Structure 1
Amino acid sequence: MSEPHEEQLIHPRTLHFTTRGIAPVSRVHMWEHHNARALIPLDIHTIDESPLQAREINVHLPNLGLAQVNGSPQIVERSESFISDNPKDAVAIYFATRGDAFFFHRGGNESLKPGQAIMYDTDLPFTRGFAHGLEELVLTIPRVVYRELTGAESLREPVVFPFGSGSQATAHALAKLVRSTVAPHADGSAPPTPVDPGTERCLLDLISSLVVHRQAGKGPCYVTAAKDYVERHLADPDLSAHEVAAAVGISPRHLARAFAEAGLTLREHIRNRRLDRAWELLTSPEGDDLALGELAPRLGFSSHNYFSRAFRNRFDMTPRRARQQLRAASH
């Protein structure tokens, strides 16, 4: 019998840019040059006479482009004539993490604040402005990939959506996965970090789910989004499968099936994460001033007795013993 095929890790192409060390008079030109080859061609202008400050990390996967961008106040645009000379043939999602921004397009204008994202066709004219600078994550999706994921040729209008901790789970999970994929490449002096092929598949599935809310074939990434939602609501004693499924955008039955494919149940995952968090609090300085009786309600358990039994079954010791063990070890 042949050995099961193991997928090879992706070795992404990574690029780094910084204006540090570049003469002020050349910075805008070099910034435009970098974006043209690494992200999206842009016509860029500074707002005042201050020298441009900018930094960018790019990670190119086989089907997607990811970036983390930081910069001082500036205006970037793609006019009809500029697009004609510099087509990109892609859809982009910009996740604003710092700094307010405006986005002018044919149909009007949008205002973005940190925690909001905008998705738009890069070959439709737009102007973006950052009066106080910017920090954002960017995801570029080639048009052929976007078509395969969504069945649509393009976006005619921008789509603005929140991705912060209180937002829809799929959007939050997508932004979080973009950030975690780019982060290991922040050190330009280190060799590129290999990427699990499952990471790109999950990014693609989350994009598809975000755009068209398809349910079929997205089990692993619905589990990722559900786990992310659970992590942000561990303290809620009323956290339920119906609530998590609604946040992810699928039915409770479909979510249960997705978790079953991963070898666990949602209920088990919630309980285990609460117990893991209890262990962290009991065995770290963070929980020194926390009374044992406060743990159960703080972590969403219905009663202290149930919490104590579950903790003992999981860790083979009582919560009190776990705390005593840490204190004995620290002396």
Structure 2
Amino acid sequence: METVFDSADLPPADRFGWWRECLSNTHAPLEMTSAHADGFRVRQRVLRLGAATVWPAAFQPMVCRRTPRLIRRSDPETFHLSLVLRGTAGASWGKNEVTYGPSDLHVQDSSRSCTTWADGAGTIRTVGLEVPRSMLAVPPHLADRMIGAPLPGGSGIGGLLSGFLARLASDAGAYRPSDASRLGTILLDLVSALFAHTAEAERELVPESRGRTLALRVRAFIDRHLQDPDLSPRSVAAAHHISVSYLHRVFQADGTTVAGWIRHRRLDRARRDLADPALHGVPVGQIAARWGFSHPAVFTRAFRAAYDVTPSEYRRSGPGLDRA
């Protein structure tokens, strides 16, 4: 569940190169430079929590570049969120540049080239979080808009996420390996909530914006009612006082269907339960029923179509498939 890298354990000449390898494994391949490369000082802990990875780190000032060449070489298709605890950080994407201070959250996309830097007097302290793009409960076009968006980590949903990350960083030893998947699920839900809240707060006074806001509310409603076997486009539309045809148009804007989204979210929640060691004694059929699948055979066919394995095969493979 937790591994630690401390540059003090290595000869000074090897430290910066080793740190580059650590970041390439926990984030994505990067070009790195630092005025302190000779004898670089860094301590990083990596917490693998199901599909999410949290890495608290303390290090000297440095610059990182994610180039198109490195993206072609390897792209894990993740979002990286970084909570600044001490020092300052910045990022640039082409002509756009943003600076972050303590308690700020900033977002990067492993599929997008960028330059980031961290600076300050002495040691910079951050908590990094890696989450797969595909596992966030927000439409891709809204998630993309979080790149460079102001995400304050001192209040509201940002404060909830920041507090949770800081607590994980401070007392990871209090958790058991069987807690990892559940903690990862909480992180994914908090990131999804933060992205949805930020997009909704933009308050663009155009019909398109109101449609996006409705889509966020509908998706949140669906997530709250996934366990209801009677959840359907008709019941979702009725709960939001709109017609079924209008609901379908809202989802068509994101390239999906209402029924398809309900199925996707149910399968994702069932997949998380199957990967949870604490639930290995729960029959597959019971997990399927918990997430609204009335017929085990229907669940098995849908699961195989989504993940190329049966539910039982996925469970035997362990939670390592969460990052596939």
Aligned residues: 199
Q: Distance in 2 between matches of 1:62 and 1:82?
A: 26
Q: Distance in 1 between matches of 2:17 and 2:152?
A: 33
Q: Distance in 1 between matches of 2:132 and 2:94?
A: 22
Q: Distance in 1 between matches of 2:195 and 2:76?
A: 20
- Residue type of the alignment partner of 2:221: A
CA 1:77–1:196: 2 relative to 1, 3 Å: closer
Q: Any conservation in 2 of the 1:120–1:155 contact (CA below 8 Å)?
A: no
Q: How does 1:70-219 map to 2 (within 5 A)?
A: 70-132=58-120, 133-146=123-136, 149-152=137-140, 155=144, 157-164=147-154, 167=155, 169-185=156-172, 194-195=178-179, 197-213=181-197, 214=217, 215-216=220-221
Q: Any conservation in 2 of the 1:120–1:159 contact (CA below 8 Å)?
A: no
Q: Any conservation in 2 of the 1:205–1:218 contact (CA below 8 Å)?
A: no
Q: Distance in 2 between matches of 1:124 and 1:66?
A: 21
Alpha-carbon distance, 1:108 to partner: 1.2
CA 1:198–1:191: 2 relative to 1, 3 Å: closer
1:88-137: CA deviation from partner (whole Å, max 9, x where unpaired)? 21111111110012211124111111111111212211111123242111
SS in 2 for 1:102: strand
1:231-276: CA deviation from partner (whole Å, max 9, x where unpaired)? xxxxxxxxxxxxxxxxxxxxxxxxxxxxxxxxxxxxxxxxxxxxxx
Q: 2:20 aligns with which of 32, 36, 41?
A: 32
CA 1:39–1:184: 2 relative to 1, 3 Å: farther
Q: Distance in 2 between matches of 1:58 and 1:182?
A: 9
Q: Any conservation in 2 of the 1:150–1:208 contact (CA below 8 Å)?
A: yes
SS in 2 for 1:41: coil
- Residue type of the alignment partner of 1:121: D
Q: Distance in 1 between matches of 2:176 and 2:43?
A: 18
CA 1:120–1:191: 2 relative to 1, 3 Å: closer
Q: Distance in 2 between matches of 1:114 and 1:27?
A: 26
Alpha-carbon distance, 1:202 to partner: 2.4
CA 1:43–1:49: 2 relative to 1, 3 Å: closer
Alpha-carbon distance, 1:185 to partner: 3.5
SS in 2 for 1:216: helix
Q: Which residue of 1 aligns with 2:249?
A: none
Q: What is the TM-score of this pair, normalised by structure 2?
A: 0.56
Alpha-carbon distance, 1:191 to partner: 9.6
- Residue type of the alignment partner of 1:209: A
Q: Any conservation in 2 of the 1:32–1:44 contact (CA below 8 Å)?
A: yes
Q: Which residue of 2 aligns with 1:47?
A: 35
Q: Any conservation in 2 of the 1:15–1:57 contact (CA below 8 Å)?
A: yes
SS in 1 for 2:140: coil
SS in 2 for 1:179: helix
- Residue type of the alignment partner of 1:82: L
Q: Percent identity?
A: 17
Q: Distance in 1 between matches of 2:40 and 2:107?
A: 26
CA 1:73–1:197: 2 relative to 1, 3 Å: closer
1:14-37: CA deviation from partner (whole Å, max 9, x where unpaired)? 221111121121111110111222
Alpha-carbon distance, 1:56 to partner: 0.7
Q: Any conservation in 1 of the 2:81–2:108 contact (CA below 8 Å)?
A: yes
Q: Which structure is larger by alpha-carbon Rg, 1 or 2?
A: 1
Q: Distance in 2 between matches of 1:196 and 1:100?
A: 30
Q: Distance in 1 between matches of 2:112 and 2:221?
A: 31
Q: Distance in 1 between matches of 2:163 and 2:223?
A: 18
Q: Distance in 2 between matches of 1:130 and 1:171?
A: 21
Q: What is the TM-score of this pair, normalised by structure 1?
A: 0.55
Alpha-carbon distance, 1:69 to partner: 1.2
CA 1:210–1:191: 2 relative to 1, 3 Å: closer
Q: Any conservation in 1 of the 2:16–2:38 contact (CA below 8 Å)?
A: no
- Residue type of the alignment partner of 1:126: C
Alpha-carbon distance, 1:178 to partner: 1.7
Q: Distance in 2 between matches of 1:201 and 1:38?
A: 18
